[in-house]
Structure 1
Amino acid sequence: MMRLRVDPVRAQVYEHGWQSWSPTTTYGVTATAHRPLTPAMYGRPGRPAPREGFQGEGLLAVDPGTGEPVHVYAARDGRAEVPSIRAAYGDGVLTVDADGDVEQALHPGTIERALGTWADGYARRTGAGAVRAAPAVWCSWYHYFGAVTTDDILENLDAVEERDLPVDVIQIDDGWQAGIGDWLSFSGPFAGLPRLAGRIRSAGRRAGIWVAPFLAAANSDLARAHPGRLGGDAGHNWGQALFALDVVRAEDHLREVFTALRAWGFDYFKLDFLYAGAMGGLDAYRHGLTVIREAVGPDAYLVGCGAPILPSVGLVDAMRVSPDVSPVYEPEDGDLSRASQRAATVTTIARAWQHGRFWVNDPDCLIARPQVERREDWAAVVERYGGLRASSDRIADLDAWGLETTRRLLSSAPDPVPFGTP
């Protein structure tokens, strides 16, 4: 346990959330941090946060507000263990403790600068490797959601060409699969998925696809035929219960799925709901991502999402660093783990220091059609903090401002080096 004297007015605490969607930001020392209303899917399973105070998952930083350097408390190696680090304020003192092995370091300057300095060292120690620039992407999700069809993909493939948009990847999102877990079977609108990938490639674009590799839905063929491959409760979505895959028992399944997807022509993979893979332990989680990488090859581009942050370092090329964006600004019930522009903005900014050190930061897609609330504000966030740039509008719905903004942001992604730090 560590006790740190702080200024109750000026002191700040940076709380880092468990996974992509977990709220992450800096608070005044007397504040109480945001808490997901559905912690099983948006928080850290089995590690409930206190009602008051702070709980950083593997990382917590404190600016005492007294002129002293920033104190960074962090996991020694978040690939193997991610301790929960708690901080509570009382009578001018912040008490910090953890349930695992934590190192403490002092860094001058702002919290953002201190986190960048810490991350430089962490990346070196854990062998994060060189960060690869991201391609520019068009994604189907934020217009069509799960109702996307092959015709929708082809319409936008043609529109990208007709409007000369600088898109490298056409990414098919959720809706192509027969079920969550049944990745080798197609929904009716995507009966010819390999042919569609071929059409995308013949048009001079790369074919991308969304997969939730460590999930199986209760009504999936995978869950019914292979219950021994399932792990624990992974939440509820798509109108049904979700189960985490037992990554070790399901290794052959993972290899088969991703070998097939690569053979069909996909080389850009949006890997979603990855938190489920860590429910069986961090070794199993990292092994699962390694199996996927081996199946798709070193040249494929992997984007993590819904992923435990520190355990993923070195295993993906880009990482969603925020909750989902949304056409609306405010989140449901004020929950900053749920889809909204405000939630995506808060956590994207708070994780800006990861870009160029751990991976390319993905703040989520640009949505610029006229129906989007405060679209100018969201575009400014993507422009300032977006390393991976992806458009997710129906191209035909963009007005002049939306089309110009989409073209400009897709063509001006920053290099995969750290952003300037205040």
Structure 2
Amino acid sequence: MKEHIITAHHTWTLPLDHYDILLNGYQSWSDADLRPLSDTQTAPILEALIKQGYDIQFPPTGQAGVWRSHHLIALVTEKGAYIGFALSAKTSVACWEARIEQNAVTVTLKVDGTPEEVVFEWTDQPIQRIEDLSRQFAQNMQAPVWNPVRVWCSWYSYYRNITERDFIENARIARELDLPFDYFQLDDGYQNDLGDWLEKRPTFQGDVAGIPAQMERLGFKAGLWMAPFIASPTSQLFQNHPEWFLRDTQGQLVIAGDNWDNDYYALDLSQQEVLDWLEDLARTFRSFGYSYFKLDFLFAGALPGVRQNGLSRTEAYRKGMEAFKKGAGDAFLLGCGAPLAQSVGLVDAMRIGPDVTPFWDDYARRRWVKDGSHPSLKGTLQTCLSRFYQHHWYMPDPDVMIARQKLSLLSDQERESLLRLVQVTGGLLASSDPLMLLEQKDIDLLRTSLEFHPRDLPATLNERFGLAPTHYRTVTFNLTEELQDGIAPHASRKAEGRGPRAEGMALHGIG
């Protein structure tokens, strides 16, 4: 079977078999797994979690034997796999559903937006075929050529309590230790309110505009976190321009989430005035000397709503990204909490999993709230290992290495598994440890995590220790709670005599 069609809706009927499904969630934090098709796809019980971690237009079903995936779907057997793959994402979102029926399995494609060019086919070489289709998609989307960068960010050290003094002190220590960071990135906590990015938060106690010059004197470039597509109702931006914000069919403001103990709203990226504001905002910070931007909570720009000129949510989202990119000029852009496929060609790097944490799992949130997108080391490993093919789309960001022993519940084996994830991913290298708390053992581990490695690929999709492709060519991960082939729970093992393997010119993007 092989079909190459342009369509907005199509259904294929497959013979019953014992399928595993490789699925890809819509945005950075959404689930990505490899698991039995007969299992149940978990659906969060709170709509706010679906909106912030999934695709509210095409959410998980919560039904046994019914699975939803975005852009890619693969139904894997011992002999090969059926693969569905969209070859573009400039105007639409490709949504796949696999459903076990009485005598067959149906796979349905629903395109949210204009019809898309898609491939659906059988292959006896699923990993290689997914790689080939991913490379073709990246070329269609004009994905950038890239080389990995090394970043320290303030978030997991200080969260919103960051001050200029703390930020500069970590950069000073990094220079004393000769740690090879390229960028020092200031995260959330400097701004007075969501949307008021140029207004300093009093507790920051510093000058955001002057930080790049201080970084330059220490031998680093300056980076900045921002969530440019959202704003708080208490912000001056919202107070001055309530008409700039997205509304639903009843004329009500679209609430994008409530991460800061308050609702926040989504900007309407179909409005030219909003696009002009985004371009000016990026240009202003670029003029201060910031050459790296982490753009977070980007999913808000593609939430359902009524937009001007009949633009689809994908078209409006990409216009917003294009406006910021234009203002930022040659700055490096990292997307996070972002529609994955729809961002290709507009970002240099992309977070490909949930936030990493200094503990293995948040069982209570996963069990009782049924949220698979929650921050955890287990979730980071599972999701990032399941997105191996996205290396062609952008520089993959598996989030930060946690090297510290203080303020951490991670075992040495769990930290080693995180290190090996960073190595097999072959993308962005990052840290957020408070550098003054690191012992020599931690510093050595951090330094090792900042060494570039070519990315690796799964050796098989038919054997796994957990709900992801865990058997890579150079490393085997155990994501379970049981001993597996001599590998302890949460641990990993390198293949004898093998380091990370070069694959597809890994250090040079899609070339």
Bin of the TM-score, shorter chain as denominator length: over 0.9
CA distance in 2, matches of 1:144, 1:178: 16
Report the equivalent of 2:335: 304
CA distance in 2, matches of 1:223, 1:389: 36
**Residue-by-residue CA offset, 1:387-414 (whole Å, 9 max, x unaligned):** 100110001111222110111111x223
CA contact (8 A) 2:87 2:136 kept: no
CA contact (8 A) 2:42 2:61 kept: no
Q: TM-score, normalised by structure 1?
A: 0.93
Write the letter of the residue equivalent to 1:327.
P
Residues 114 and 239 (structure 1 numbering): CA distance in 2 closer, same or farther, change over 3 Å?
same
Report the equivalent of 2:315: 283
Report the equivalent of 2:477: none
Report the equivalent of 1:198: 213
Match of 1:42 among 53, 75, 93: 53
**Residue-by-residue CA offset, 1:328-375 (whole Å, 9 max, x unaligned):** 2112511320111011111110112111x1111000011111132132
* Number of residue equivalences: 412
Q: How far is the alpha carbon of 1:109 from its aligned partner? A: 4.4
CA distance in 2, matches of 1:44, 1:55: 10
CA distance in 2, matches of 1:26, 1:276: 27
Report the equivalent of 2:4: none
Q: How far is the alpha carbon of 1:72 from its aligned partner? A: 1.5
- RMSD across aligned C-alpha pairs, in angstroms? 1.8
Match of 1:348 among 358, 366, 384: 384
Range with greater deviation from structure 2 (156-165 or 34-43): 34-43
Q: Please list, as runs of the form range in 1=range in 2, the aligned pairs for 1:184-333 lying within 5 A after superposition.
A: 184-188=198-202, 189-231=204-246, 232-249=254-271, 250-279=274-303, 281-297=313-329, 299-331=330-362, 332-333=364-365
Q: Please list, as runs of the form range in 1=range in 2, the aligned pairs for 1:7-46 lying within 5 A after superposition.
A: 7-8=17-18, 11-37=19-45, 38-46=49-57
SS in 1 for 2:263: strand
SS in 2 for 1:151: helix
Confirm or deny that 1:413 pairs with 2:452: yes
Confirm or deny that 1:95 pairs with 2:95: no
SS in 1 for 2:192: strand
Q: How far is the alpha carbon of 1:156 from its aligned partner? A: 0.3
CA contact (8 A) 1:14 1:111 kept: no
Write the letter of the residue equivalent to 1:30.
S
CA contact (8 A) 1:12 1:28 kept: yes
CA contact (8 A) 2:86 2:137 kept: no
CA distance in 1, matches of 2:208, 2:198: 10
CA distance in 1, matches of 2:365, 2:126: 29
Match of 2:186 among 172, 191, 207: 172
Q: How far is the alpha carbon of 1:70 from its aligned partner? A: 2.0
CA distance in 2, matches of 1:395, 1:5: 56
CA distance in 2, matches of 1:259, 1:234: 25
Q: Please list, as runs of the form range in 1=range in 2, the aligned pairs for 1:395-414 lying within 5 A after superposition.
A: 395-410=435-450, 412-414=451-453
Write the letter of the residue equivalent to 1:126.
M
Q: How far is the alpha carbon of 1:91 from its aligned partner? A: 4.5
Report the equivalent of 1:77: 88
CA contact (8 A) 1:322 1:343 kept: yes
Q: How far is the alpha carbon of 1:225 from its aligned partner? A: 1.4
SS in 2 for 1:240: coil
Report the equivalent of 1:4: 14
SS in 1 for 2:258: strand
Report the equivalent of 2:195: 181
Report the equivalent of 2:504: none
CA contact (8 A) 1:267 1:301 kept: yes
**Residue-by-residue CA offset, 1:234-269 (whole Å, 9 max, x unaligned):** 011101001111123311221221111101110000
Residues 324 and 32 (structure 1 numbering): CA distance in 2 closer, same or farther, change over 3 Å?
same
Q: How far is the alpha carbon of 1:382 from its aligned partner? A: 1.8
Confirm or deny that 1:368 pairs with 2:403: yes
Report the equivalent of 2:158: 144
Q: How far is the alpha carbon of 1:157 from its aligned partner? A: 0.7
CA contact (8 A) 1:134 1:318 kept: no
CA distance in 1, matches of 2:346, 2:122: 27
Residues 398 and 191 (structure 1 numbering): CA distance in 2 closer, same or farther, change over 3 Å?
closer
Report the equivalent of 1:337: 373
Q: Please list, as runs of the form range in 1=range in 2, the aligned pairs for 1:112-131 lying within 5 A after superposition.
A: 112-128=127-143, 130-131=144-145
Q: Identity over aligned residues, as a percent?
A: 32
SS in 2 for 1:406: helix
Write the letter of the residue equivalent to 2:163.
T
Q: How far is the alpha carbon of 1:98 from its aligned partner? A: 2.1
Q: How far is the alpha carbon of 1:421 from its aligned partner? A: 4.7
Q: How far is the alpha carbon of 1:376 from its aligned partner? A: 2.6
Unmatched segments (≥5 aa) in structure 2: 1-10, 247-253, 306-312, 460-511
CA contact (8 A) 1:36 1:42 kept: no
**Residue-by-residue CA offset, 1:107-151 (whole Å, 9 max, x unaligned):** 6345433321210121222322x4211321111111101111101
Residues 162 and 107 (structure 1 numbering): CA distance in 2 closer, same or farther, change over 3 Å?
farther
Write the letter of the residue equivalent to 2:43.
R
Range with greater deviation from structure 2 (150-159 or 332-341): 332-341
CA contact (8 A) 2:87 2:140 kept: no
CA contact (8 A) 1:107 1:117 kept: no
Residues 105 and 95 (structure 1 numbering): CA distance in 2 closer, same or farther, change over 3 Å?
closer
